[in-house]
Structure 1
Amino acid sequence: MAGGSFAPAGVAKERAEQYQGRVTGYVVVACIVAAIGGSIFGYDIGISGGVTSMDGFLKKFFPSVYKNKRHAHENNYCKYDNHGLAAFTSSLYLAGLVASLMASTVTSKYGRRASIICGGISFLIGAALNASASNIAMLISGRIMLGVGIGFGNQAIPLYLSEMAPTHLRGGLNMMFQLATTLGIFTANMINFGTQKLEPWGWRLSLGLAAIPALFMTLGGILLPETPNSLIERGSNEKGRKVLERIRGLGDVDAEFQDMIEASKFANSIKHPFRNMLKKRNRPELVMAIFMPMFQILTGINSILFYAPVLFQTMGFGANASLYSSALTGAVLVSSTFISIATVDRLGRRVLLISGGMVMITCQVIVAIIMGIKFGDNQELSKGYSVLVVVMICLFVVAFGWSWGPLGWTVPSEIFPLELRSAGQSITVAVNLLFTFIIAQIFLALLCNLKFGIFLFFAGWITIMTIFVYLFLPETKGVPIEEMTFMWNKHWFWKRINVDHSEADTTVG
C-alpha cells in the first residue's frame, strides 16, 4: 500500500477525543526504568568536566595543560586551551553521532528495547576502558565506546517514553529522561568532589563508576516491555494491543489502537525513511529535528556544565571551591527539571521555552558585563562579584532546566509520524551531538579569544531561538502522537507550505 488513502502521517482522521486511559503504575515504572538511560549522558558530562581539571589526570595525559594551569602569569582565559584535551572531550560526540544514525535501523526493525540494551553494553565497555587507560589511545577508545552507548540510548529512550506515555501526560513522563540526565550530572559532580582528593588516581574511580548507570540501563532494557507502537509496526498487533491495554489500565483502547494500526500500515510502506523525510510534507518535522537540538546546545549549557570546574578555576576559585560550585549548578539543574515536569502538560511547551529563553539571555548579559569590567588577565574576581557570577549561572541553569533542557528532547520525540519516528529521532540525536562536538572542540579557543564575549555569543543565539519558537513552533500539548500532522496543517506558517493530503507516497524501494 502506497499510503494514498492515509493522511501524510498515516492516520485517516482525528480521534483524540475518543482516547481512553489513565496513568498506571505499570507505565510510570516502565518510564522511570527507561529514563535511567539518560543518566549515562549526564554522568559523562559531569564526570569529564571535573576529571579534566584534576592534576593527576592532566599530569598523565596532558602535561602541557597542567604546566599552563600552574603558571600564575598565564592568560586567565587561555589556561586550558589545548587541542589534545579538546579531542578527548569531543571524540565521544563524533562516535555518538554516527551511532545514533545506525541506531535508527535497530530501533525500527528490532524495537526500542534493542537499542537501549546495545547502548548500555557499549557504555559499560567504555567505562571499563577509561578506568584502566594507560595511554591516550586507550583513553580515546573508551570515549568512543561511551559515545556509541550515548548514541543508541539517546536515540531510543525519548521515543520509548513518548510512545508509552498517555497523551495528556506525555510531556511530563518524557521529561524523566532529562531528569535522569540532570541527576547523572549532579551525581558525577559529587563523585568528582570526593575523588579529586584521591590524587593521583582519583580520576580513574570517577571514570570507572560510569559502569553503574550503564549496568542499570542494560538491565532496564532487558526487563522493560516493548512499546505498543513498535510491536504493531513490526506486525505483532495482538501483543501490541495487550500491552496498550495494560499501560492504559482498561480494555477500551479502540481509538488509539486504530491510529497505531493505520500509522503502521503507512510506516511499513516506507522503505527509505531518511529519503522520505526530505519530502515537502515532512518539512516541519525535519526543521524541528534540526533546529531544536541545535538550539539546545547553542544555549551554552553544555559548555557551562562540562567546563564548570574549569570556568570557576579560571575566575579564581580554588580547586575545591570550583568543584563545589559546579556541584551546586548540578543540584540546581535537577531541581529546575521538576518545574518543567509539573507544568509542561498544563502550561504547554511554548510558554516554558520562551520564558526560559528570556531569563537565560538576561543572565548571560549580566555575567558578560561583570567579567568584562571586573575580570581580566592576571586578575581574580572579588568574593562579592564571584558569588554574583555563580548566582547568575545558577539562575541560567534553572531557566534551562525548565525549558530547553527537557524540551529540546521532548518536542522532537513526539512530533514525527510512525514511519519517520526512528529516523527523525536519529537526526535529532545526531544534530545534538554534532553541535556538542563543535562547541566542545572550539569552546576553550572561544573562551581564550572572545574572553567575556563568550557569554554574549551564547546570549545572541538564545535570542534567535526564542524568536524561532514564538514564530514557528506550534503547541503540542494534548495532541496525540499519531495525530501530530493535523497540528502542522493548522499552524499559520506551516499550513502554507505543508503538502496537500492527497499526495501519495511512492517511495517503496
Structure 2
Amino acid sequence: MKDVYKNRYGEDIKESAVKRLYSVAVSIFAIGGMLGGFSGGMIATRFGRKGGLLLNNVLGIVGACLMGCTKIANSYEILFLGRFIIGVNCGLNTSLVPMYISEIAPLNLRGGLGTVNQLAVTVGLLVSQVLGIEQILGTRDRWPVLLGLAICPAILQLLLLPFCPESPRSDNPSVTVVRLSYFGYLLITKQREEEARKALRRLRASNQVEADIKEMRAEERAQHTEASISMTQLRCSPTLRAALVIGVVMQLSQQLSGINAVFYYSTDLFVSSELTEESAKFATIGIS
C-alpha cells in the first residue's frame, strides 16, 4: 500500500492512513460475509441449494483472481474488491452448505455431518495461517499467491459438485417444514415413487430406503397441516419464542465475542506483547 501510494502521488503516505486502509482490507471481508449470509435464503429459494453453491463458485473464482492480481495491477482497491467478493462467497457458503448437508444426510448422520462442516471451516483457517508464515508464502513477493489460492476450493467444488445428488429444496419455502428434497419432489409433487426410490438408492448406496420414504411421507403430512406464519407471528408465538431467542443469541454471542478481532489481529497483538514477528505468527497458529 505504501509503495502504490508513493508511485501514484510521489509522496509517502501517513502511517495513520496506512492503518485505515489496512483496516478496510481486513474488515470488508466481514461486511461481504454479512451480505452473503443474509442472501443465502433467497439464493437457495431461487436456484436451489446445489444450484446456489455452483453459482457461488463464480464469486469465489472472481474474488480470488482479483486478490491474486492485486500486486500486478498495482492497486490496493482491487484487493478491497476481491476481499469483499470473497466475503460474499464465504457468507453464502456458510448458509448454503449446512442446508445442503442437512437435507441430503440420513437422519442418524445429520448432526455428525453438520459438525464435520464446522471442523472443515476451522481446519481451513489453520491451513491458511500455516501457509502464511514467511517460510512458505508469507513474504513480500509471494503473498499474492497466498491470496490467489482461494481459487482452488472454488474450482474443486465446481468440478465435483455436479456429481453430487440434486439440490434438496422446498417447493413452498414459506412453510416450516423445508426438508422436502429432490426425492421428496419426485415422490410427493410428481408422485413418481419408483424414480424417488432409485435416486435415494444412488445417494444412500443401499436398497434400504423405506425409512427415507416414510420420513418424506410424514413431512408431506406435516406440510399440509402446518400453517405459514409471518415474522411478527414468529416473534409473538410463545411456543416458538424460546427456540428463536436461543438461535439468535448463539449467533450474536459468537460474532460479538470479538473472535474476528482475535483472528485478524492476533499477530499484531502478540507483537505488541514483545514477541518477535516470527514467534507471533506461530502463536497465532497455536490459537487456531
| Superposition TM-score tier, normalisation by shorter sequence | 0.7 to 0.9
Structure 2 equivalent of residue 153 of structure 1: 93
Structure 2 equivalent of residue 260 of structure 1: 219
Q: RMSD in angstroms over aligned alpha carbons?
A: 3.2
Structure 1 equivalent of residue 20 of structure 2: 83
**Aligned residue type for 1:223:** F
1:221 aligned to 2:161?
A: yes
1:289 aligned to 2:247?
A: yes
**Aligned residue type for 2:159:** L
Alpha-carbon deviation of 1:328? 2.8
Alpha-carbon deviation of 1:297? 2.3
Instruction: Judge conservation of contact 1:127–1:211 (CA < 8 Å) in 2.
Output: yes
> Quick one: distance in 1 between partners of 2:269 and 2:132?
15
**Aligned residue type for 2:281:** L
List per-residue Cα deviations over 1:472-506 (Å, max 9, x = no partner).
xxxxxxxxxxxxxxxxxxxxxxxxxxxxxxxxxxx
For residue 137 of structure 2, the aligned residue among 185, 195, 209 is 195
Instruction: Judge conservation of contact 1:61–1:136 (CA < 8 Å) in 2.
Output: no
Question: If the length of structure 2 is used for normalisation, what is the TM-score?
Answer: 0.76
**Aligned residue type for 2:126:** F
Instruction: Judge conservation of contact 2:51–2:167 (CA < 8 Å) in 1.
Output: no
Structure 2 equivalent of residue 182 of structure 1: 122
For residue 312 of structure 1, the aligned residue among 270, 279, 283 is 270
Structure 2 equivalent of residue 129 of structure 1: 66
1:230 aligned to 2:184?
A: no
**Shift in CA distance, 111/275, structure 1 to aligned 2, threshold 3 Å:** farther
**Shift in CA distance, 64/224, structure 1 to aligned 2, threshold 3 Å:** farther
> Quick one: distance in 1 between partners of 2:112 and 2:165?
20
Give runs of aligned pairs for residues 71-470 of structure 1, distance below 5 A. Answer: 82-133=19-70, 134-193=74-133, 194-196=136-138, 198-199=139-140, 201-226=141-166, 229-231=180-182, 232=184, 235=189, 238=192, 240-248=196-204, 249=206, 250-253=208-211, 254-265=213-224, 270=228, 277-278=234-235, 280=237, 281-330=239-288
> Quick one: distance in 1 between partners of 2:196 and 2:241?
30
List per-residue Cα deviations over 1:284-314 (Å, max 9, x = no partner).
4432332221112234333222222222222
Alpha-carbon deviation of 1:109? 3.8
**Shift in CA distance, 118/318, structure 1 to aligned 2, threshold 3 Å:** same
**Aligned residue type for 1:108:** T
Question: If the length of structure 1 is used for normalisation, what is the TM-score?
Answer: 0.45
Name which structure has the greater RCO, CA cutoff 8 Å, separation 6+.
1
SS in 2 for 1:222: helix
**Shift in CA distance, 319/116, structure 1 to aligned 2, threshold 3 Å:** same
> Quick one: distance in 1 between partners of 2:2 and 2:254?
30
Gaps of 5+ in 1: 1-56, 69-79, 331-509
> Quick one: distance in 1 between partners of 2:149 and 2:225?
44
Instruction: Judge conservation of contact 2:4–2:76 (CA < 8 Å) in 1.
Output: no
| Aligned residues with identical type, % of pairs | 23
Alpha-carbon deviation of 1:94? 2.1
**Shift in CA distance, 294/310, structure 1 to aligned 2, threshold 3 Å:** same
Instruction: Judge conservation of contact 1:130–1:142 (CA < 8 Å) in 2.
Output: yes
Alpha-carbon deviation of 1:185? 1.0
SS in 1 for 2:274: coil
**Shift in CA distance, 159/300, structure 1 to aligned 2, threshold 3 Å:** same
**Aligned residue type for 2:131:** I
**Shift in CA distance, 276/189, structure 1 to aligned 2, threshold 3 Å:** same
Alpha-carbon deviation of 1:139? 1.6
Count of aligned pairs:
258
Instruction: Judge conservation of contact 1:308–1:326 (CA < 8 Å) in 2.
Output: yes
